[in-house]
């Protein structure tokens, strides 16, 4: 099923920092058609943890669809720079999620992570915000 380059838009949101947090991911096929939209409430977390959780959510969604060539698009410069080796991962919480990323990455033949402007990431942002708000309003 995974011919061509698929894209997953990811975003994490935290109401407060830390606070109730959510992750969102929108998977698109090589033609740009949306295959899935996922969001998860992830509990009390920092925004950076939420961004990493969104990365993992997006990767696992792509794995479920049998995707082999994936471009991850994120408005988190920190996540993009860390997974691309430009920034070191110093925070202990983030090291854990970075390790999960490193374990999932070999499941793809091609994998890239690219920073995009926040304005190009509206669908994933909306999913992440809704996940964080939904849980925080029911608490």
- Pairing label, strands 19-28, 34-45: antiparallel
Predicted pLDDT at 137? 57
The model's pTM: 0.94
Q: Which domains does the chain have, with CATH numbers?
A: 6-138 (3.30.420.10)
Check if the beta carbon of residue 97 is closer than 8 Å to that of residue 55: yes
Please give, one letter per residue, the 3-state secondary structure of the chain.
CCCCCEEEEEEEEECCCCEEEEEEEEEECCCCCEEEEEEEEEEEECHHHHHHHHHHHHHHHHHHCCCCEEEEEECCHHHHHHHCCCCCCCCHHHHHHHHHHHHHHHHCCEEEEEECCHHHCHHHHHHHHHHHHHHHHHC
Q: Give the angle subtended at the CA of 23 by the CAs of 18 and 29, to the nearest 5°.
A: 155
> What token pair was written down for 108?
């793809």
What are 58-89's pLDDT values in tens digits? Answer: 999 999 999 999 999 999 999 999 999 999 99
Nearest in space to 78 (alpha carbons), one of 55, 107, 45, 57 = 55
The structure tokens 């999960």 sit at: 100
Predicted pLDDT at 134? 85
Predicted pLDDT at 139? 43
Segments of the chain scoring below 50 in pLDDT? 1, 138-139
Strand partners, 27: 8, 36
């Amino acid at each position: 099923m995974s011919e061509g380059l698929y894209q997953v838009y990811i975003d994490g949101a935290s109401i407060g920092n830390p606070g109730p947090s959510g992750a969102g991911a929108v998977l698109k096929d090589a033609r740009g058609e949306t295959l899935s939209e996922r969001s998860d409430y992830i509990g009390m977390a920092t925004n950076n943890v939420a961004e990493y959780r969104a990365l993992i959510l997006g990767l696992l969604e792509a794995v479920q669809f049998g995707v082999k060539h994936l471009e991850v698009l994120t408005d988190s410069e920190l996540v993009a720079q860390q997974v691309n080796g430009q920034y070191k991962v110093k925070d202990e919480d983030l090291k854990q999620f970075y390790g999960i990323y490193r374990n999932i990455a070999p499941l793809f033949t091609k994998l890239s992570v690219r920073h995009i402007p926040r304005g190009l990431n509206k669908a994933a942002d909306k999913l992440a915000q809704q996940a964080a708000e939904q849980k925080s309003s029911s608490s």
